[in-house]
Structure 1
Amino acid sequence: MQTTKPWVKPALEFGPLILFFAVFMLYRNDSVMLGGREYGGFILATLAFIPALFLTTAIHWRLSGKLSPMQVATLVLVTVFGGLSVWLNDPRFFKIKPTIIYVMFAAILGASLALRRNWLGAVLSEALPMDAEGWRKLTLRMAVFFLVLAVANEVIWRNLSESTWVYFKTFGLPVLLFAFLLGNAKLYRDHALPVKGAEGDDIPKL
């Protein structure tokens, strides 16, 4: 990414989600007529989220010159399932979208293990240099983690209130992801690749 202010990247990543939350909270107890149809707060929030995600993804691409496979997949699934929710005026399509995303990611990671391919390392190795065993362990843990998130999403949207699901999506999922990354700090240290010091000595990269 080109040199930008530190707040730009998190703003692009979390901006659409915060907008979704704000619109939902503003209209969660109300309905609005659009094109002769009545829409509740959840659908209105979804309607705001989709173009916002397109905009932030385009800005990210403009600044960095590339998009990760995860970003592309997320944009496509948000458009498809978010669009279905708006078109059919049915929140269930958008609520099931995270489940599909997490199962898909878990399947990709599982396939990389079965095929003995380091697909996760190919994407993240520049930011997190590790040896092959480290990537194998992280790939397995992340595949299980995504499956857990998929199950959690299904349990929450099917059994709890709409507001609870929105809180879970907006705040719960980012917190769980942060906790997962932090919880693997020892793995990063134990399997970090050495880097050359000033005198040519190998120094573990923490």
Structure 2
Amino acid sequence: MAEKQINPWLKLALELGPVLVFFIGFGRMKDQTFTIFGNDYSGFLVMTALFIPLLLLTTGIVWALTGKLSKMQVATVVLVVVFGGLSVWLKDERFFKAKPTLIYLLFGGILGFGLLRGKSYLRLVMDEALPMQAEGWMILTRRITAFFFGLAVANEVIWRNFSTEAWVNFKTFGLTAALFLFFMTQGRLMQKYGIEKDDEAA
């Protein structure tokens, strides 16, 4: 089934909306404790409990509008539901904080496995959007694999050694900025190995 095109700003809002809602909500409730059905929950856990259905809702809307979800989106939703749910159920923030580590280890591990086989799994999911020569894909895949492992280490350092507020800021802005800067620095590689659509058709 071909992916339907939607307004890119709408898609961005649906993908980033739950993260921004979590950040704003945590900022307002971080020092509060809520008693629900006789159990006490921190503001962080309350926002985690709200984040899960919100992410499911926005992901469902993306799927309904485009007819497609990437494997990365599906894996992210599954890990959020599992580890976010464990955090709320066990009242232990560590599960949700460790979730980005597992996501980046998973993605890095999958790409790394492909590299060991001499293949770029990244190319399989991005080739249509970013046509490049095979050599370019292998270089980009090696870089992204190392980058994902680096993000996993960074997340572990932050959540284990800094406050919850520092981790939320890092998760909301630090990881997003790191991803943006990484792809910005790959411009020369994409220019060198990029394939023009006219060339590809020929």
Same topology, TM > 0.5: yes
1:34 equivalent in alignment to 2:36 = yes
1:135 equivalent in alignment to 2:144 = no
1:103 equivalent in alignment to 2:84 = no
CA deviation after TM superposition for structure 1 residue 3, in Å: 4.7
CA contact (8 A) 1:19 1:48 kept: no
TM-score with structure 1 setting the length:
0.93
CA deviation after TM superposition for structure 1 residue 36, in Å: 1.0
Q: Deviations over 1:19-42 (max 9, x none)?
A: 111111111011111111111111
Relative to 1, partners in 2 of residues 1:117 and 1:193: Cα closer, same or farther, differing over 3 Å? same
CA contact (8 A) 1:23 1:44 kept: no
Q: Calculate the aligned-residue CA RMSD, in Å.
A: 1.2
CA contact (8 A) 2:119 2:138 kept: no
CA deviation after TM superposition for structure 1 residue 134, in Å: 0.5
Unpaired segments ≥5 residues, structure 2 = none
1:112 equivalent in alignment to 2:119 = no
**SS where residue 197 of structure 2 aligns?**
strand
CA contact (8 A) 1:46 1:86 kept: yes
Unpaired segments ≥5 residues, structure 1 = 197-201
Q: Report the Cα distance in structure 1 between the residues aligned to 2:106 and 2:9, rounded to whole angstroms.
A: 30
Q: Which residue of 2 aligns with 1:181?
A: 183
Q: Report the Cα distance in structure 1 between the residues aligned to 2:67 and 2:114, rounded to whole angstroms.
A: 26
Letter in 1 for 2:98: I
Letter in 1 for 2:60: A
**SS where residue 35 of structure 2 aligns?**
strand
Q: Report the Cα distance in structure 2 between the residues aligned to 1:192 and 1:4, rounded to whole angstroms.
A: 25
Q: What stretches of structure 1 move > 4 A for 4+ residues in a row? A: none
Q: Which residue of 2 aligns with 1:147?
A: 149
Q: Which has the higher contact order (CA 8 A, sep 6+)?
A: 2
Q: Which residue of 2 aligns with 1:199?
A: none
Q: Which residue of 1 aligns with 2:45?
A: 43
Q: Deviations over 1:10-61 (max 9, x none)?
A: 1111011011111111110111111111111110110111001100110011
Number of residue pairs matched by the alignment: 198
**SS where residue 129 of structure 2 aligns?**
coil
CA deviation after TM superposition for structure 1 residue 195, in Å: 2.9
Q: Which residue of 2 aligns with 1:66?
A: 68
